[in-house]
Amino acid sequence: MSRAILQVMIRGRVQGVGYRAWVEYQATASGLEGWVRNRRDGSVEALFAGAPTRVADMVALCRHGPPSARVDSVTSETASADELNLRGVGEKFSVLPTA
């Protein structure tokens, strides 16, 4: 089975609207590994790892976000498996502190 790992940046009104919790719920429900965190510039950054179609579906979901969010842009790039090491020990998907 192939595996995709994408690092995603989401910009817009995505902080203070439950975006990270929403990403954690959606990613976990999709069986993805990775993490999500706020950025000091007001964006949200996430890393998704898993089956390519599930990762692509998650990125598509990020373009809409939870009801209170207003997503202006979503960009993604291929990431390495080393980036997964930012997760909490023993966690499949983590909400990380602001970077």
Give the active site residues.
20, 38
DSSP assignment of the chain: ---EEEEEEEEEE-SSSSHHHHHHHHHHHTT-EEEEEE-TTS-EEEEEEE-HHHHHHHHHHHTT-STT-EEEEEEEEE--GGGGGGSPTT-SEEEPPP-
